[in-house]
């Protein structure tokens, strides 16, 4: 049948409208929340919303390195569901306010992993486990109870479907913590519990684990009145009339009779301020018992955030890895304030956040300054000022000064350097509005210029930290050099010109540990002699301590991220630097002496499983061999990430491992975040679009004949031919376009000239 032209036009218009109105594919469908829950990823599978304070997730064990998040995919039983978790850290804490349902006799302890029936834990199967962003479900096989979890920013809601039983119950266990040493007792410094009426339990505790002395409070309401409530202190039941308790080992049992298929909901609000704050957070964020409404809102929040970065690719495995990585980049930092703006500061006092601002926690800065925070400047520019101003307030409020690794109002002091300086300086260099750079400088200057902090006094006096006076001295010297570079930029931007010149000179201090006879960064003694005997595959010369932080000299020798051109001069030529980088990747992966658990994902002596290596593949760009960066980055994208529980080469570390994948898959990377520049790698996808807010978009396209084409032949930047292998953040801050022309064979001339190379502190 022949259709008239007018009808064809109408049909075409209708199809066009329908296509335009059709919903965008929900990116949450590509997220596999179990990636990283096996191996050494240390992630959790439970329910949260982006950057939320609540992480409502199952705990399978609370002891040992691979259980830092409370969950490991290898386990077959669940202790219960606690409300706070760390995502991918190498040190454990949190696991606050554990709730576990059950039937049968009351049990006060979880029991061992290999004998679930000995305690209140239950066996489970991954076949009965479902998880998507913002939702988690599992069948507790020993009790026949289906558990479902979802969350808001400061509250979580549980849904438990019970069998018929006269002995249904819940246990609230405030004694449950992450145990920092095998067999160690829980480090609960103080806790309180109170039963309010017949449907509410409130309380809080102060914990002395990693973040020593942190506070957490909760308010928990049940959808059905319980028959009775029993408080337990130090294993002993309190009098039936007792409705309040204080101590260091508190639990509460509540009892029910249930019919088959009966549902009991439990909702919990958290606060770092007070019980009253927890109640206010709960009543504000979950007003009723609409579990599906909360789940839908959590899903929508994740879908909205994940949709800020869209990709086009025929490779579904890459799609799942990418969106799971993107999901992981938004699990920390986490909110740590109440709905009324009150928060517990680093001085443990209660503060009021400025209007429109928030207080945050869980800044794994040693890791995340490298790729996570640079990614935020592209993808979450509206959130950057709040995060950075929070770090500045922390520096003002904390008795420990510049933030290093802050967690729930306490400074853990974990890792080396003080890389809040990098995150703050990056935001100031990139000219984010609303960031108080002037307030930041004097607070951070105290650390740089005055504090006797972890070898800094020796560093200022000698130009390096002696290995016979300070553990991890070589790494600390390198990291203070980078922090000096960050501080120099802050000094310049805030008009402290004398400080700028001094700090800029000090940023070259890494060279004081360069041994030209070996071609490596090498530990040095207070006498200025080299520490001996030296082996670049060892973590340290002395048996007393390491000289490098979770690394050896092969890895640490490249840590002056601000000065790759300085390495060219130290090594003598661009060709020598390329040869040295080749040697790194082609070394035997056998490590001499101690092997830190973090030194994983080895390619030769390159360790992708640990953050100090993350920029190294991009250093070929500075030495005239960008095609080698392209080859190496593509190889790492393909081999270091998998679509299964053991899918990460090392600890996720609060988003850094995943952020490397996300930003590298786009085709570039911030080797030196403080510079405000990015260097090109190789794009993984045919097209990617970042919604930068305010109507601005950064579009990245790759024109290629085959998905295997990984080598750049040409670049069009913002519509014009581009012959450099780096670009400025300022040139895409309001959107832009990058179009790569790719091929299966390298063009060794593209980007090889000195004029095309990225700048660094030392000029070519």
Rounded mean pLDDT of 356-382? 97
Cα separations (Å) of 659 from 50, 428, 715, 736? Answer: 15, 21, 24, 21
CB-CB neighbours of 744 under 10 Å: 11
Specify the long-range contacts of residues 163-167, CB closer than 8 Å, at least 24 apart: 163/103, 163/258, 163/260, 163/261, 164/258, 164/259, 164/260, 164/262, 165/103, 165/104, 165/257, 165/258, 166/257, 167/103, 167/104, 167/105, 167/255
Residue whose C-alpha is closest to residue 594's, from 646, 558, 531, 544: 544
Rounded mean pLDDT of 411-428? 98
Rounded mean pLDDT of 59-79? 97
Q: Are 485 and 674 in contact (CB under 8 A)?
A: yes
Q: 744 is written with which tokens? A: 């299966």
Q: 535 is written with which tokens? A: 């082996």
pLDDT at 376 over 70: yes
Residue 4 confidence (pLDDT): 36
pLDDT at 744 over 60: yes
Residue whose C-alpha is closest to residue 672's, from 712, 627, 732, 619: 619
Give the residue extent of every domain in the chain: 31-305, 309-335+625-764, 362-444
Specify the long-range contacts of residues 180-187, CB closer than 8 Å, at least 24 apart: 180/92, 180/209, 180/210, 182/63, 182/64, 186/249
Band of residue 240 on the pLDDT scale cut at 50, 70, 90: low
Residue 182 confidence (pLDDT): 76
Fold of 362-444: Glutathione S-transferase Yfyf (Class Pi); Chain A, domain 2 (1.20.1050)
Residue 433 confidence (pLDDT): 96
Residue 764 confidence (pLDDT): 82
Rounded mean pLDDT of 26-35? 97
Spatial neighbors of 119 by CB under 8 A, at least 6 apart, are 107, 109, 110, 111, 112
Instruction: Please state at what angle helix 574-586 crosses helix 626-639, rounded to 10 degrees.
Output: 20
Round to whole Å and give the CA distance between 63 and 83: 17
Band of residue 133 on the pLDDT scale cut at 50, 70, 90: very high
Q: Are 552 and 536 in contact (CB under 8 A)?
A: yes
Torsion angle of alpha carbons 236, 238, 244, 246, nearest 10°? -30
Residue 24 confidence (pLDDT): 53
Residue whose C-alpha is closest to residue 148's, from 156, 134, 160: 160
Round to whole Å and give the CA distance between 532 and 62: 41
* Percent share of the chain, pLDDT over 90: 93
pLDDT at 14 over 70: no
Residue 180 confidence (pLDDT): 82
Rounded mean pLDDT of 525-552? 93
Residue 592 confidence (pLDDT): 87
Residue 185 confidence (pLDDT): 82
Fold of 309-335+625-764: GH92 mannosidase fold (3.30.2080)
396 burial (CB, 10 Å; 0-12 / 13-18 / 19+) is: middle
pLDDT at 194 over 60: yes
The arrangement of secondary structure in 31-305, i.e. its CATH architecture, is Distorted Sandwich (2.70)
Q: Are 690 and 379 in contact (CB under 8 A)?
A: yes
Q: 356 is written with which tokens? A: 């429109």
Rounded mean pLDDT of 113-141? 97
- Specify the residue for token string 């006799």: 105
Relative to beta strand 200-207, strand 350-352 is: unpaired
Band of residue 166 on the pLDDT scale cut at 50, 70, 90: very high
Rounded mean pLDDT of 440-447? 98
Q: What is the mean pLDDT of the chain?
A: 95
Cα separations (Å) of 66 from 113, 138, 328, 451, 652? Answer: 14, 21, 18, 35, 12
Round to whole Å and give the CA distance between 391 and 403: 7
Rounded mean pLDDT of 156-177? 98
Residue whose C-alpha is closest to residue 659's, from 641, 646, 644: 641
pLDDT at 280 over 50: yes
Instruction: Put the strands of the sheet holding 726-728 in their side by side order.
Output: 668-669, 677-680, 726-728
Band of residue 186 on the pLDDT scale cut at 50, 70, 90: confident
Beta strands (DSSP E) in 54-144 are 57-59, 77-78, 80-82, 98-102, 122-123, 130-132, 135-140
Do 309-335+625-764 and 31-305 fall under one CATH topology? no
Q: Are 404 and 420 in contact (CB under 8 A)?
A: yes
pLDDT at 8 over 50: no
413 burial (CB, 10 Å; 0-12 / 13-18 / 19+) is: middle
Rg, C-alpha atoms of the chain: 27
687 burial (CB, 10 Å; 0-12 / 13-18 / 19+) is: middle
Round to whole Å and give the CA distance between 522 and 557: 8
Residue 594 confidence (pLDDT): 87
Residue whose C-alpha is closest to residue 206's, from 243, 248, 156: 248
Q: 280 is written with which tokens? A: 């206010």
Max Cα-Cα span within the chain = 95
Residue 426 confidence (pLDDT): 98
Spatial neighbors of 443 by CB under 8 A, at least 6 apart, are 392, 395, 396, 401, 402
HSE at residue 385, side-chain half, CA atoms within 13 A, is: 11
Residue 542 confidence (pLDDT): 81
Buried b (16+ CB within 10 A) or exposed e, 477-505: bbbbbbbbbbbbbbbbbbebeebbebbbe
Q: List, for residues 561-606, the tens digit of each pLDDT value.
A: 999 999 999 999 999 999 999 999 999 999 888 888 999 999 999 9
Round to whole Å and give the CA distance between 427 and 436: 10
Round to whole Å and give the CA distance between 48 and 32: 14
Round to whole Å and give the CA distance between 152 and 144: 27
Residue 593 confidence (pLDDT): 87
Q: List, for residues 379-394, the tens digit of each pLDDT value.
A: 999 999 999 999 999 9
């Amino acid at each position: 049948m022949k259709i008239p032209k007018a009808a064809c036009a109408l049909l075409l218009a209708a199809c066009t409208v329908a296509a335009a109105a059709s919903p965008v594919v929900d990116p949450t469908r590509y997220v596999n929340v179990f990636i990283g829950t096996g191996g050494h990823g240390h992630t959790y599978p439970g329910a949260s919303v982006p950057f939320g304070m609540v992480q409502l997730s199952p705990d399978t064990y609370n002891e040992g390195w691979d259980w830092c998040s409370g969950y490991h995919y290898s386990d077959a039983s669940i202790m219960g569901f606690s409300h706070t978790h760390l995502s991918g850290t190498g040190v454990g804490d949190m696991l606050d306010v554990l709730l576990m349902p059950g039937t049968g006799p009351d049990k006060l302890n979880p029991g061992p992993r290999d004998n679930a029936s000995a305690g209140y834990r239950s066996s489970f199967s991954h076949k009965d486990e479902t998880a998507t962003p913002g939702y988690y479900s599992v069948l507790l096989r020993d009790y026949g109870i289906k558990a479902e979890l979802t969350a808001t920013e400061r509250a979580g809601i549980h849904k438990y479907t019970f069998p018929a039983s006269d002995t249904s119950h819940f246990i609230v266990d405030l004694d449950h913590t992450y145990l920092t040493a095998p067999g160690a007792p829980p480090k609960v410094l103080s806790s309180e519990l109170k039963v309010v009426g017949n449907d509410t339990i409130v309380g809080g505790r102060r914990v002395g684990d990693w973040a020593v002395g942190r506070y957490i409070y909760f308010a928990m309401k049940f959808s059905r009145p319980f028959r009775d409530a029993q408080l337990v202190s130090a294993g002993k039941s309190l009098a039936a009339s007792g409705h309040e308790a204080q101590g260091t080992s508190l639990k509460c049992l509540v009892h029910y009779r249930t019919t088959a298929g009966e549902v009991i909901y439990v909702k919990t609000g958290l606060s770092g301020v007070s019980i009253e704050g927890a109640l206010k957070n709960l009543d504000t964020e979950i007003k009723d018992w609409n579990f599906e409404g909360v789940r839908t809102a959590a899903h929508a929040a994740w879908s909205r955030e994940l949709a800020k970065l869209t990709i086009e690719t025929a490779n579904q495995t890459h799609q799942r890895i990418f969106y799971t990585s993107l999901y992981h980049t938004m699990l920390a930092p986490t909110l740590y304030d109440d709905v009324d703006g009150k928060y517990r500061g680093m001085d443990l006092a209660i503060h009021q956040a400025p209007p429109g601002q928030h207080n945050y926690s869980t800044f794994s800065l040693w890791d995340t300054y490298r790729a996570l925070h640079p990614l935020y400047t592209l993808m979450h520019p509206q959130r950057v000022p709040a995060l950075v101003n929070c770090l500045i307030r922390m520096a003002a409020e904390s008795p420990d000064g510049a933030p290093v690794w802050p967690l729930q109002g306490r400074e853990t002091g974990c890792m080396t350097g003080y890389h809040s300086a990098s995150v703050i300086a990056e935001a100031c260099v990139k000219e984010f509005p609303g960031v108080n750079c002037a307030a930041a400088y004097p607070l951070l200057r105290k650390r740089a210029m005055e504090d006797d902090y972890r070898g800094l006094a020796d560093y200022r006096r000698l130009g390096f930290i002696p290995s016979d006076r300070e553990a991890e001295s070589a790494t600390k010297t390198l990291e203070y050099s980078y922090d000096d570079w960050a501080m120099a930029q802050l000094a310049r931007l805030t008009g402290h010109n004398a400080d700028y010149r001094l700090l800029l000179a000090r940023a070259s201090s890494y060279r004081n540990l360069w041994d030209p006879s070996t071609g490596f960064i090498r530990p040095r003694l207070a006498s200025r002699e080299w520490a001996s005997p030296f082996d670049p595959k060892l973590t340290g010369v002395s048996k007393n301590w390491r000289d490098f932080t979770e690394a050896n000299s092969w890895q640490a020798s490249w840590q002056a991220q601000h000065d790759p051109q300085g390495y060219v001069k130290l090594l003598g030529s661009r060709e020598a630097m390329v040869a040295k980088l080749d040697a790194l990747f082609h070394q035997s992966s056998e490590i001499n002496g101690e092997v830190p658990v973090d030194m994983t994902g080895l390619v030769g002596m390159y360790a992708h499983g640990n953050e100090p290596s993350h920029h190294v593949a991009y250093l070929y760009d500075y030495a005239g061999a960008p095609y080698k960066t392209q080859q190496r980055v593509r190889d790492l994208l393909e081999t270091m990430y998998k679509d299964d529980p053991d899918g990460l080469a090392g600890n996720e570390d609060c988003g850094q491992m995943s952020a490397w994948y996300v930003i590298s898959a786009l085709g570039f990377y911030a080797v030196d975040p403080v510079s405000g520049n990015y260097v090109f790698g190789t794009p993984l996808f045919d097209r990617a679009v970042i919604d930068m807010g305010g109507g601005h978009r950064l579009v990245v396209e790759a024109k290629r004949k085959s998905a295997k084409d990984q080598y750049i032949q040409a670049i069009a930047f913002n519509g014009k031919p581009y012959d450099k292998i780096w670009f400025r953040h300022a040139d895409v801050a309001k959107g832009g376009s990058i179009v790569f022309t790719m091929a299966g064979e390298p063009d060794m001339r593209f980007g090889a000239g000195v004029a095309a190379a990225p700048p660094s502190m030392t000029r070519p």
